[in-house]
């Protein structure tokens, strides 16, 4: 059991109880704004101020005092610390709650809200303030060339090769707090199953789009089901 490898995928549901909105729940972000207006390269080309305003609002919200890692983020950081084999945490979330909880082996496949990317020099820099068309790139000093360092619809998610390599050899794949609507993350469970040895587990508030592909599922709030699952894995494996 000691050498066994774990891959964990998280989505917006894990950060809901920290005070951040999900996307596709009835009160979620996509019920308030249209993807085509704020989360595509075409939207940014058409109306950069609108896209900056959308992310400025979410960046300020993420940095509010009340938004903190919850028991589910803490449990995954503990699993990484205490699991004797390898563990990779892949998050679709652009918040920084996993790293604040202490996770280290972490891939932000959809990028990070608290970073800016310069379209002139390519530099990625920490960014905590509102972004405007007058903002200067901290690396090259050019004005008007910054965008938030997230992956929009139609763009390639980050570090896909590393993710598929890990899915190809994992023994346990766990999907947490994601509706399974967005490709390629929605295909990770099938990829893990195809390696011929992975046990697949869904932890979510409700069955996701791909729920039938999981060997095991536990439904409830992430702050309850994730710590309980981690406790069991560390004690008894799967």
| Positions that interact with ligand BV8 (CB under 6 A) | 11-13, 16-17, 22-25, 28, 39, 92-94, 110, 150-151, 153-157, 160, 177-179, 181-184, 204-206, 208, 221-222
HSE of 116, CA atoms in CB hemisphere, 13 A = 28
Closest separation in Å from C-beta 12 to ligand BV8: 4
Residue nearest to ligand BV8 (CB): 13
Closest separation in Å from C-beta 205 to ligand BV8: 4
Q: Please, which residue, 83 or 152, has the CB nearer to ligand BV8?
A: 152
Known active-site residue 110: yes
Q: From CA 56, how far away is CA 62, in angstroms rounded?
A: 10
Nearest CA to 194 out of 218, 173, 216 is that of 173
Q: Please, which residue, 145 or 175, has the CB nearer to ligand BV8?
A: 175
Where on the phi/psi map is residue 174: left (φ > 0), alpha (ψ -120 to 50), or beta? beta
Q: Please, which residue, 4 or 185, has the CB nearer to ligand BV8?
A: 185
Closest separation in Å from C-beta 28 to ligand BV8: 5
Q: Please, which residue, 75 or 94, has the CB nearer to ligand BV8?
A: 94
Q: From CA 184, how far away is CA 181, in angstroms rounded?
A: 9
Q: Which of 108, 110, 128, 218 is catalytic?
A: 110
Contact 7, 170 (CB under 8 A): yes
Q: Please, which residue, 4 or 227, has the CB nearer to ligand BV8?
A: 227
Nearest CA to 199 out of 210, 213, 211 is that of 213
Q: Which two tokens stand for residue 74?
A: 């803490």
- List, in sequence order, every beta strand (DSSP E) within the chain: 6-10, 87-91, 106-108, 111-118, 124-126, 146-150, 172-176, 199-204, 216-219
Which residues participate in catalysis according to the annotation?
110
């Amino acid at each position: 059991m000691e050498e066994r490898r774990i891959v964990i995928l998280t989505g917006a549901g894990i950060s809901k109880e920290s005070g951040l909105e999900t996307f596709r729940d009835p009160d979620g972000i996509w019920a308030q704004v249209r993807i085509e207006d704020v989360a595509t390269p075409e939207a940014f080309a058409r109306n950069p101020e609108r896209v900056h305003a959308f992310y400025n609002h979410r960046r300020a919200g993420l940095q509010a005092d009340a938004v903190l890692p919850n028991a589910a983020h803490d449990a995954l950081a503990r699993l990484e610390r205490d699991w004797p084999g390898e563990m990779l945490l892949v998050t679709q979330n652009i918040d920084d709650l996993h790293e604040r909880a202490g996770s280290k082996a972490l891939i932000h496949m959809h990028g990070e809200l608290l970073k800016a990317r310069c379209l002139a020099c390519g530099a990625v820099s920490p960014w905590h303030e509102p972004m405007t068309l007058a903002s200067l790139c901290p690396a090259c000093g050019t004005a008007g060339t910054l965008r938030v360092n997230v992956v929009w619809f139609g763009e390639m998610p980050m570090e896909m090769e590393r993710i598929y390599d890990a899915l190809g050899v994992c023994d346990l794949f766990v999907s947490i707090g994601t509706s399974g609507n967005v490709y390629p993350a929605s295909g990770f469970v099938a990829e893990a199953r195809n390696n011929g040895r992975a046990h697949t587990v869904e932890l979510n508030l409700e069955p996701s789009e791909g729920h039938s592909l999981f060997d095991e599922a536990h439904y409830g709030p992430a702050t309850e089901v994730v710590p309980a699952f981690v406790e069991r894995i560390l004690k008894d494996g799967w």
